Structure formats: C-alpha cells, structure tokens
C-alpha cells in the first residue's frame, strides 16, 4: 500500500498537470487515505494510554481510531474510481460530467469519515484493541463479561455491531461495487472488440470486391465507374480507424481501472 502511494507521488510531482483531470485526483485521494490508515497501523500501540503500554492518552487513542476509519474511506474511493471507469467507458461520459460526479464522491466520502469519527468519539468506541486503537471495549470484552463494568459510555451500543455498521459493511459494499463495475467495463470492451473485428472483416471483404471490379472493367472504365466504391471504401477505412482508436482508449482505461481497483 505504501509503495503505491509513493509511486503515485513521484509521478505527480513530475507531472502536476495530471491532477487537472478527475481520474488522477480520485487515485490521489484513495492513495492518501490508504497512506494515513497504513501509518496508523505502523504506529500501533504508540498511541495507547500509558496503562496499556503506550505513550499517548485517550485523546491520541480517539485520534488514532478516527484515522483508522481511513480504511473504509480508501475502499469507498476504490468504488468511486470503479464507477468513474464505468461512466467513462461504458457510458462515454465526458470530463465535464465526471467533475460533477467527483464533487459528489468527495462530499459523500468526507461526510462518512466525519460522521463515523464523531460517532466513535461520542460513544467512546475508540479504545486500545490488539495492536491499534479501534472500535473495541475498554477494558477488553467488558460488554460481554457479566460483572465487568466498562469504563467508557457505550449507550447500549455493542462494539461488534459498531464494527459492522461503522466499518465492515462499507468495505463489503465497496468490494461489490468494484466487482460489478469492473465486469461492466470488461463487457463493454469485449463487445467493442467483437464489433470492431466483425466490422473489420466486412470492410476487408468490400475492399477486395471493389479491387476485383476495377481489374475486370479496365483502367479507363474504372476512372468513371469506381468513384463510388472507392469513396465508400475510404469512408469505411476512416470509420474503422476511429473505431480502433475508441477501442484502444477503452481498453487502456479498463486496464488502468483493473490496476488501481485491484
């Protein structure tokens, strides 16, 4: 994960103009969220209160738990990136339309991160877990062991339910969206490839037929009678070139989508 962030960072430092487009900005946001979450996992129990062997306090643990929510944020940006590829490849949306989509994606994901973070802090859900501050009991399993009183207010909220509704369900949903979106992109590119192959064969056959007619009628007759076939042949060749260019672009975008989403 960290390698992806740094590799993307090096590319953007040397090619800042790429951030003028929607797709690199979504990749940057996803990589940034991935980097923050990975950093908190690396810090581990450093943010724990001293009684748990750390060097922090409740505030640092709350902050760490809030930043761990960057994991579902990265997954949601993954889903947004998948939808971007569906809209641009399958539905041929232009860059201007995708800017509107980008605004909604940023706003929705940012609201999710703020809302779940506030909920975790208010409910006292961010506590020392196994190796980081996350949604957990304090002390451990106090909500499940009879007679063991919890030190922080949970307002009747189970940490297992909180983990599911504030964390796991969003990751699972993002995975489903990515899978469906990539299948739609694959289907679009596959259909374009079939159409281009079929169209290319028909164009080749038409060109060969036109050349045969020119040879049979002679040079003088061909100068007056084959203008139509030759004109149609040139138009067909141009259409084939445009179709090939569109297919190459779709295939390139689909390949990028599989790389980033994967």
Is residue 243 situated within a structural domain? no
What pLDDT is attached to residue 185? Answer: 93
Confidence of residue 60 (pLDDT cuts 50, 70, 90): very high
Task: Give yes or no for a contact between 58 and 126, defined as CB atoms under 8 angstroms apart.
Answer: no
pLDDT per position as a tens digit, 15-43: 555 788 999 999 999 999 999 999 998 99
Is 149 within the bounds of a domain?
yes
Mean pLDDT value across residues 81-101: 93
Q: Mean pLDDT, to the nearest integer, of 103-122? A: 95
pLDDT at res. 76:
97
Which pLDDT belongs to residue 156? 65
Number of domains present in the structure of the chain:
1
7 located within any domain:
yes
Top pLDDT among 73 and 242 is at 73
pLDDT category at 193 given cuts 50, 70, 90 is confident
For residue 262, being part of any structural domain is answered with no
pLDDT at 42: 92
Which pLDDT tens digit goes with each residue over 201-255? 655 555 555 555 544 554 444 444 444 444 445 545 555 555 555 555 555 555 5
Residue 66 placed within a domain: yes
User: For residue 239, what pLDDT is reported?
Assistant: 53
Q: Is residue 188 part of a domain?
A: no
Per-residue pLDDT, 173: 97
**What pLDDT shows up at residue 145?**
77
Residue 208 forms part of a structural domain: no
Q: Give the pLDDT score at 228.
A: 47
Q: Which residues contact 124 (CB under 8 A, 6 or more apart)?
A: 138, 152, 153, 154
Does 245 reside within a domain? no
pLDDT at 219: 44
**What pLDDT score was predicted for residue 214?**
47
- Decide the pairing of beta strands 133-135 and 126-128: antiparallel
List the Cα angle 51/119/82 in 5-degree steps: 110
Question: 15 lies in which domain range?
Answer: 2-180
CB environment 115-150: b (16+ within 10 A), e (fewer): ebbebbbebbbbbbbeebbbbbbbbbebbeeeeeeb
pLDDT at position 235: 47
What does the pLDDT average to over 115-136?
A: 90
The mean of the pLDDT values for the chain is: 78
């Amino acid at each position: 994960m960290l390698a992806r962030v740094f590799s993307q960072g090096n590319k953007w430092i040397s090619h800042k103009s790429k951030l003028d487009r929607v797709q690199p900005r979504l990749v940057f946001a996803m990589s940034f969220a991935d980097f923050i979450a990975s950093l908190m996992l690396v810090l581990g129990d450093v943010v724990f209160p001293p009684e748990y062997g750390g060097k922090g306090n409740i505030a640092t643990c709350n902050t760490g738990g809030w930043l761990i929510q960057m994991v579902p944020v990265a997954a949601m940006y993954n889903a947004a990136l998948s939808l971007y590829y569906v809209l641009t490849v399958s539905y041929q949306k232009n860059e201007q339309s995708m800017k509107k989509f980008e605004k909604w994606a940023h706003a929705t994901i940012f609201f999710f991160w703020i809302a779940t973070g506030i909920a975790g802090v208010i409910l006292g859900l961010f506590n020392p877990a196994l190796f980081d501050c996350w949604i957990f009991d304090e002390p451990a399993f106090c909500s499940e062991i009879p007679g063991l009183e919890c030190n922080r207010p949970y307002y009747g909220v189970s940490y297992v339910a909180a983990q599911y509704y504030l964390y796991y369900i969003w990751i699972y949903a993002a995975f489903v969206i990515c899978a469906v979106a990539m299948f739609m992109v694959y289907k679009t590119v596959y259909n374009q490839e079939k159409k281009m192959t079929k169209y290319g064969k028909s164009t080749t056959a038409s060109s060969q037929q036109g050349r045969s007619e020119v040879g049979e009628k002679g040079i003088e007759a061909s100068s007056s009678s084959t203008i139509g076939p030759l004109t149609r042949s040139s138009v067909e060749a141009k259409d084939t070139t445009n179709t090939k260019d569109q297919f190459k672009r779709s295939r390139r975008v689909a390949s990028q989508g599989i790389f980033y989403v994967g």
